[in-house]
Each structure stands twice: as C-alpha cells, then as structure tokens.
Amino acid sequence: IQILPLSFLSAADQAFVTLATTEDYCMGALVMGKSLRRHGTTRKIVVLISSSVSPEQLNSLHKRVFDEVVQVDVMDSMDRTHLSWLGRPELGVTLTKLQCWMLIKYKKCVFLDADTLVLQNVDDLFEREELSAAPDAGWPDCFNSGVFVFRPSLHTHSRLLAHAAHYGCFDGGDQGLLNSFFKDWAVKDISKHLPFVYNLSSSAIYTYLPAFQTFGHQAKIVHFLGAVKPWHLRYDQSNKDSYLDQFLNMWWAEYRSQMPPISGEVDGNQDSGDMLHVSMKPSRHLNINTETAEESLHHRRMWEKGHVDYMGKDSFENIKKKLDIFLD
Amino acid sequence: IQILPLSFLSAADQAFVTLATTEDYCMGALVMGKSLRRHGTTRKIVVLISSSVSPEQLNSLHKRVFDEVVQVDVMDSMDRTHLSWLGRPELGVTLTKLQCWMLIKYKKCVFLDADTLVLQNVDDLFEREELSAAPDAGWPDCFNSGVFVFRPSLHTHSRLLAHAAHYGCFDGGDQGLLNSFFKDWAVKDISKHLPFVYNLSSSAIYTYLPAFQTFGHQAKIVHFLGAVKPWHLRYDQSNKDSYLDQFLNMWWAEYRSQMPPISGEVDGNQDSGDMLHVSMKPSRHLNINTETAEESLHHRRMWEKGHVDYMGKDSFENIKKKLDIFLD
C-alpha cells in the first residue's frame, strides 16, 4: 500500500486557471504558468482562451505549460442564458472570466490573472474554500479578483450570470461583479481572506513602503496591476533600482527561461526556445513608446512621493523634448 | 425601576479618545470632537494633549467639546518604564499615542486621529473588542491606526512599551508598532475588522473610484491621510468639483459651525464664535502656499489618472511661473 499525501490525491481534480484574451495576455499566461511549474505545483494548469488568439499560440501554450486549453467566447454564444446579455456588450470580458465556473471536471480551482507572477509554491491555496481572495489595496473591503479560490459549478455560473443581468457590475469588470455576488466576503469568514502576499499588487510597494520592506519578502504572487504591464516594458537585467524593477526582471527572466521538464514529458527539445519566437515581438515591445511608459511609471511614483526632479527628468528641456514628440 | 439600554449604562466608562500634539492638530481634534457631538454620541470625549499646546487652547477645547483633557509628554517622563526609551527619540510621538492605554478610568475606548471627521453616529464601535480597526489601503493586511477600539490597561501599556523597546516599529510610527504588537489582526477574527467606511482614507476616492461611488455613501468616518490636511487648505464652499472637496468643505463647515449645547451646559454665549478666534489663523492658513498645496493635490490626482493637462496647468508657461517662484 502506497500512502500518498492528501495534496497528491486531490491533484487530479484541482487546477489553476487563467484567462488570455489577447496575444499580449498569452505572454502573461505563459509566464504565470511557467512560474507555477517552476515552483513545483502538483495541480493541473488550465488556460481559457478567447477566439481572437491564434491556433499557433494556442498550440505552443498547450504543449509547454498547460494541461488543458479551453476556448471560450461568451458573446458569440447564442444559448438562452447568454441571450439576455446581448444588450450589454460592455460585460463581455467580465462574462468570459466567469466561464471558469464551467470547468466542472475540477472540484476546486484557483484563478490567477495572466498579469500575475508566482514567486513561491502556492498549492496551499487549495486548502481554502470558495470564495477566498486577498483584499484590494484600492478599497480593502473589496477583494481583488486577480487571485481567487472557487468551486466550478454550473449552478453558481448561472447564478453569477443572473446576478450580472440584474445588478450589472459597479466597476464594469469582473471584480465589481464578483464582489457584489460574494458580498459577505469582508465581514463573514476570515479564512476566506487570503493574506495580501498572495496577491501583492505592484503598486503597494509605493503606497506603504515600510510595510513592503517588512512583509514583502513573504510575497508569493505579485500582480502587475495598472495599464503598464511587464510585456510593455524593456527587459534590462541591470535595472535593479526599485523593488518593481526586480519583479519586472523576474517576469522577464521567467519569460526567457527554458522550460523545466513537465511530468510525463520526455526531455527532448528543451533548448529550442520556441516560446520566445512565438510570442516575443522585439520590434513592438522594445520601442521608444514602451520606454516612455516605463519612465512614466517611475516618474509618477517619484512625483507622488514629492520628489520632483526639477533639474533632471522634470526640467523644461526634457519635458519639452517629450512634448515635442507627443505634439509632432 | 427605570430600564436603560446597555449603551446608556456603559456610556460613563466608555470614551472616544484623540491626540493633539500641535496647535494645528488641536484644530483637527476640535473638529473631530464637534463632529462626534453633532452625531449625538452618548460617550465621553477625551483629548490627550502634549505640553507644547498652550493653556488657552486647552481651556477652550475643554469647555466646548471635551469631557476631559489629559496632558501627556512621554519623553519628559523619567520613571523606570520610560527611561529605557530615552535612547530612541524617534519613537517619541509613537509613545505619546500609546498613552491612551493609561486611561484606566474607562473600560473601553475608541481612538480617533485628529485628522478624522465623523459623518455619522459611530457609538456602535463600542460593541467591538480590542483591537478592532479597519484595513489600511496602502497594505491591507495592516490595520490603519487612525481609528481603533481598545481597552485601557496599564498591563497592556507596559507590554506595548516593552514590545517597542525590543522590536522598534517598522514604519517609525504608532501604526507599525501596533500592527506588530497585534500581529494576528489580519488572520484571526473577522469581527475585529472594522468596515473600511469607519476609516475611509481620503485617497481611496482615487485608488478605486467605482468602489467609492458604490460604497462611499456609507462612509462613517473620513480620514485625511497624507501631508496635506484640511487645515492647510482654503475654505471655499463653492469648491465641489471632487468628492475630496466635499469632505474638505464638511470639515470646514464643522470647524466654523456653532456648537450645539452640550448636556449639562446652560445655553449661553453660543454665538460668540470664540472657537474661530482661538484657532483660526487666516494669515497662515489662507496664504498662497496652501493654495499651491491644494492645487498640487488635485493636480497629482489628475496626473495619476493619466490626465496631463499639457495645454493648461501643465503648460510650460504655468510650470515655469511656479518654478520661478520656487527657484527665486
């Protein structure tokens, strides 16, 4: 008789789930999945992909990182449940994320946004119940929907759709809808509050730096919130000025790394680097506009902290140069 | 036999407590206390004041708003408990706040920072246990120490001092120390998590505006976090552009309002407006620097939201004018 730990026994019906609706988010999903593998997850990894993602991308993702690829496209569905939605196209992306509740071949799942990066093994998340999530730093009585534990269920899926139809979602995204549906989260059960280090928004580095310096080393999942994503930024290993640079470099290191052998896969063409060829678009990702985005992010943070660099980046000459580019 | 509600019976040994260490913070404490009275608290209101506050200020506060004024000055104390501190002057202000645990004539207290404003009756806070507080929006696994429920106790006070002596405080303030002492807050007991609307940081308006628009009307206490306080800003009732303007105007309206009669006080010279004369310093508070501070705040928020007003406030001409003033 072989005695297996509970975590191993339950691995087959438990999965991490992510969602990629564009090619950029496929890059993110890939990196997130690789980071899960790197830290030795025993669970399945599933990606939901919309029809706008190319078959090549899908295929590559499938082979290398994901146990399962599920194509979803809510707004094209013409069944009765979805028909009631067709008058509200703004809920399209939100509804796509809700499709994760339809993965009923799994008993319990953890959803991870494609703009997250796993820094440590987080299989312990499967000990939590639906709906477990970490507080959102912007309004901490809401949970952030970038990382959450859920139980796939067609019944819950229908109720979520009905709730959305009736109440809409206050922020136009899945986070508002899920918070409105799981509205007791803030007050009912502390075990459903994931520690913030399971969904550490990159902006928290700046909003309470002493806390980041004290607790940041416990970070398990970092979440690149906001409009500027790692895939918009230049990969430069020498950029280690800020904590954010370090996380960005970890993201890029994961992106460029070779894949570790996946269980059941014969170690073969591990050095082909085809991931890189499939997704990386140097001409698009490394151009001047993305450098401006990176500069802008750092610059804004300094500005927020009251460090206005009047003689340097914020000098008239430099501001003028930038404006000339914008206005040309 | 007269049957009294529990809340009335316990009112005599329960108090709201605040702290004022400068004249500016006395303005804040006054407004906070007035806002508690306005919303009909049945509890005592106590202010801790450092020796740097003038007797006139003290007297005025005492008569009008506070049931008790307690002068504290930790760093001058030469008793054994405090002696161990003299090598760490940076903990001075932090230690002053901890003195609230010495108010042992009260069984339970609610501490409110002097830069808070009460918008509704919050006597229900006394139903909570030590240590209850709301999450800090900057790092939501820490509580914000601007509003918290505690039980005065010399034993706890000593343990807090010993903890500070041994571990210091990670952010140099009382919040770091209290979070390190009450370190189970994030994971242990949901009833000790005050809803965020009991300590709504004014910056949360901007960090997750849809949540503010959805839940902001439930706000019970607003907390003017950050370097720019209401007493630095110009009072202008016509400024109602932003949610923050509305809170600022409420603060100033409270500041300028006449006091409602306090229980036991004969309604007398209610219209003298001496509060205004005692604390308001138009020449200091309404000068050009404070207008710059207000502009800077709003401007920064717009910048954060990506609305750079290249042709208006952010035009070269205007930036240059400001810089000329700074650089002159």
Q: Which of A127, A139, A297, A301 to mutate to test the interface with B (most CBs of B within 10 A)?
A: A139
Q: Is A174 on the interface with B (CB under 8 A)?
A: no
- Cα of A304 to nearest chain B Cα, Å: 7
Q: Is A189 on the interface with B (CB under 8 A)?
A: yes
Q: Cβ contacts of residue B221 below 8 Å, gap of 6+?
A: B112, B116, B117, B118, B119, B122, B147, B197, B198, B199, B200
End-to-end CA distance of chain B: give it in Å, rounded: 75
- Cα of B75 to nearest chain A Cα, Å: 24
pLDDT band at A56 (very low <50, low <70, confident <90, very high): confident
Q: Cβ contacts of residue A243 below 8 Å, gap of 6+?
A: A205, A212, A216
Interface touch B208/A319, C-beta < 8 Å: no
Interface touch B139/A141, C-beta < 8 Å: no
Alpha-carbon distances, residue B207 vs B204, B229, B302, B319 (angstroms) = 5, 18, 12, 26
What H or E segment, with its residue span, contains residue B49?
A: strand B44-49
Burial of A228 (0-12, 13-18, 19+ CB in 10 A): middle
Q: Is A140 left (phi over 0), alpha (psi -120 to 50) or beta?
A: alpha
Q: What number is the average pLDDT over the span A8-19?
A: 83
ipTM: 0.77
Q: What number is the average pLDDT over the span A219-233?
A: 89
**Considering chain A, what is the average pLDDT of its residues?**
76
CB contacts of B295 in chain A (<8 Å) are: none
Cβ-nearest to B303 among A227, A303, A319: A303
CB contacts of A133 in chain B (<8 Å) are: none
Q: Could you list the pLDDT tens digit for every one of the 328 residues in chain B?
A: 555 555 555 568 999 999 998 888 999 999 999 999 999 999 999 999 987 887 777 777 777 799 999 988 654 444 445 545 545 555 667 778 999 999 999 999 999 999 999 999 999 999 999 999 999 999 999 999 999 999 999 999 999 988 988 888 888 889 999 999 999 999 999 999 999 999 999 888 888 889 999 999 999 999 998 878 898 886 666 666 677 788 998 999 998 886 555 444 433 333 333 332 222 233 233 333 333 444 444 444 444 443 433 333 433 344 334 333 333 3
Task: Output the pTM of the full model.
Answer: 0.78
| Strand segments (E) across chain A | 14-20, 44-49, 68-71, 108-112, 116-118, 132-135, 143-150, 200-201, 221-223
| pLDDT tens, residue by residue, A268-303 | 333 333 332 222 233 233 333 333 444 444 444 444
- Cα of A249 to nearest chain B Cα, Å: 23
pLDDT of residue B270: 36
- pLDDT higher than threshold 80 for residue A315: no
Question: Closest-CA residue in chain A for B322?
Answer: A310
pLDDT band at A220 (very low <50, low <70, confident <90, very high): very high
| pLDDT tens, residue by residue, A185-206 | 999 999 999 999 999 998 888 8
Q: Is A146 on the interface with B (CB under 8 A)?
A: no
Q: Indicate the pairing of strand A44-49 with strand B132-135.
A: unpaired
Rounded Cα distance between B162 and B175, Å, is 16
**B111 alpha-carbon distance from chain centroid:** 9
Q: Is A312 on the interface with B (CB under 8 A)?
A: no
Phi and psi, residue A205, nearest 5°: -55, -35
Task: Give just the sign of the alpha carbon dihedral A98, A100, A102, A106.
Answer: negative
Phi and psi, residue B278, nearest 5°: -65, -45
pLDDT band at A62 (very low <50, low <70, confident <90, very high): confident
- Cα of A138 to nearest chain B Cα, Å: 5
Interface touch A137/B142, C-beta < 8 Å: no
A103, A152 Cβ separation under 8 angstroms: yes
